[in-house]
């Protein structure tokens, strides 16, 4: 099944629109995200899709989710998301991120399915705003979740809840793929 390609121009427009909506300069967004001004500018112009980790840094600095950066808002009462139409990001590092929830106006919730290839360290993702929360469930394989430096070893069928305002990293230390789901509410208490 062929997945739709990411629209780099649309991603760039969304990043720029969110940055402007939050009244942030490129320099301020760079400071908040830890992503260089030149990379942000390249992304906003639609010339490059960043890694999943860099997308997470940008989204977190904008108080939103990666899903909102890569997909359009939808407003209907019922939304059926067909497998063939899902946004899939395949990171060169060996991480596949499949968005399972629509982007809705005023809602900062996302459900994703992630597969890590054998031996992949996906990196350390930045904290979301205070009050955000994440739920993770491992479908297959084994996952090492690192929250503010503490490791949690999870196997198929295990699940974990954690507050989202901490650094979080994901590793597959095994020689088989690991697939897991994350449901995250990144809205925090302030919204």
CATH architecture of 8-70: Orthogonal Bundle (1.10)
Longest dimension (CA), the chain: 45
pLDDT digits (tens, 9 = 90+) for 141-174: 999 999 999 999 999 999 999 999 999 999 999 9
3-state class (DSSP) for residue 49: coil
Contacts of 134 (CB under 8 A, 6+ apart): 128, 161, 162, 163, 164, 168, 182, 183, 184, 185
Class of domain 83-185: mainly beta
Contact status, residue 12 vs residue 44, Cβ threshold 8 Å: yes
pLDDT digits (tens, 9 = 90+) for 33-92: 999 999 999 999 999 878 899 999 999 999 998 988 988 888 878 888 888 888 889 998
Query: CA-to-CA distance for 60 and 29, rounded, in angstroms?
Result: 10
Q: What are the boundaries of each domain within the chain?
A: 8-70, 83-185
Instruction: Give this prediction's pTM.
Output: 0.80
- What average pLDDT does this structure show over 173-183? 98
Q: What is the chain's mean pLDDT, rounded? A: 91
User: What integer pLDDT is reported at residue 190 of this predicted model?
Assistant: 47
């Amino acid at each position: 099944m062929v997945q739709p390609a990411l629209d780099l121009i649309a991603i760039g427009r969304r990043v720029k629109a969110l940055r402007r909506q939050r009244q942030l300069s490129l320099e301020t967004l760079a400071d908040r995200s830890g992503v260089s001004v030149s990379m942000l500018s390249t992304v906003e112009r639609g010339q490059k899709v960043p890694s999943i980790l860099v997308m997470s840094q940008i989204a977190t600095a904008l108080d939103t989710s990666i899903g909102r950066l890569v997909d359009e808002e939808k407003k209907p009462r019922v939304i059926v998301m067909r497998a063939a139409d899902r946004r899939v990001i395949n990171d060169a590092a060996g991480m596949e991120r499949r968005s399972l929830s629509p982007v809705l106006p005023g809602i900062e919730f996302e459900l994703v399915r992630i597969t890590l290839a054998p031996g992949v360290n996906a990196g350390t993702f930045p904290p979301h705003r205070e009050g955000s929360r994440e739920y993770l469930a491992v479908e297959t394989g084994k996952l090492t979740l690192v929250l503010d430096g503490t490791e949690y070893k999870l196997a198929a069928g295990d699940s974990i809840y954690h507050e989202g305002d901490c650094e979080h990293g994901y590793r597959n230390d095994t020689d088989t793929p690991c697939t897991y789901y994350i449901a995250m509410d990144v809205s925090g208490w302030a919204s």
